[in-house]
Amino acid sequence: SQKIEQNSEALNIQEGKTATLTCNYTNYSPAYLQWYRQDPGRGPVFLLLIRENEKEKRKERLKVTFDTTLKQSLFHITASQPADSATYLCALPSSGGSYIPTFGRGTSLIVHP
Amino acid sequence: KAGVTQTPRYLIKTRGQQVTLSCSPISGHRSVSWYQQTPGQGLQFLFEYFSETQRNKGNFPGRFSGRQFSNSRSEMNVSTLELGDSALYLCASSLEGRYLTDTQYFGPGTRLTVL
């Protein structure tokens, strides 16, 4: 069955540095991958979607890469700020072509001033 | 435009009881999905409703059910509550529920505690 892995350990970085989060998946070839941000006690907020034929996508300080050979997506936040501190979730559509996303457990990012 | 709203925000129940949670999607959105989020299992899909019909269903027991009304508002019900049902229940809405074109907008969630 498909499996999504995100680093369960929190990522601690200093303000101004680039944060890089990883999403690995197995037993699957998704047509796209999404990244969400979730703050404590709140619902996830959609950030970016990248399709299988796109190697890289950018939105302001965010950059996502999608390597279908490595079965991995990297999520970068450049010039990170304390306000970027949150849990970041990756999501893939369930195998079989349905719309239902399957979420990773998320990685907590803590940006220190 | 108002976001997705969920009521109540917090709920405490005891084992064996049942509970009904409500979700009002963004105006114009016809697809409503429900998720359960726990520290152990993460965010898991419960079901999706579109035009008052359940279109997709996750791998949860029959104690979990839902419905959608003609105005797209949705409710989910959990009967015979178990301790393991304690979780954050999230509702998400989108225009048509089409992947690659629709974005899901999540509500703030209902925190259910089962004692």
Taking CB atoms and an 8 Å limit, are B56 and A31 in contact across chains?
no
Q: Using CA atoms, how far apart are residues A103 and B74, in angstroms rounded to an integer?
A: 22
Cα nearest neighbour of A5 on chain B: B42
For B6-10, what is the mean pLDDT?
A: 97
CB contact B98 to A (< 8 Å) = yes
Measured in whole angstroms, the distance separating CA A55 from the mean position of its chain's CA atoms is 14
pLDDT at A96: 63
Closest-CA distance, A103 to chain B, in angstroms, reads 6
In chain B, the percentage of residues whose pLDDT exceeds 90 is: 83
pLDDT tens digits for range B60-78 = 999 999 999 999 999 999 9
Contact flag A100-B48 (C-beta cutoff 8 Å):
yes
Pairing of strands A107-112, B5-7: unpaired
Mean pLDDT taken over chain A:
92
Contact between B37 and B108 (Cβ < 8 Å): no
Asked whether the beta carbons of residue A100 and residue B56 sit closer than 8 angstroms, the reply is yes
Using an 8 Å Cβ cutoff, are B26 and B88 in contact?
A: no
B23 and chain A in contact, CB less than 8 A: no
Lowest mean pLDDT among A41-45, B13-17, B101-105: B101-105
For residue range A58-90, what is the model confidence (pLDDT) as tens digits? Answer: 999 999 999 999 999 999 999 999 999 999 999
Decide if B107 touches A, using CB distance below 8 A: yes
Distance from CA of B26 to the nearest CA of A (A): 14
Rounded Cα gap, residues B90 and A43, in angstroms: 7
Contacts of A101 in chain B (CB under 8 A): 45, 99, 104
Given CB atoms, is A30 within the 8 Å cutoff of chain B?
Answer: no
**Residues B25 and B106 sit within 8 Å (Cβ to Cβ):** no
% of chain A residues with pLDDT over 90: 76
pLDDT of residue A31: 86
pLDDT of residue A60: 96
**A46–B contact, CB cutoff 8 A:** yes
Query: Please, which residues have CB within 8 angstroms of residue B42's CB and are 6 or more apart in sequence?
Result: A103, A104, A105, A106
What does the alpha-carbon distance between residue A6 and residue A79 come to, in Å, rounded to a whole number?
22
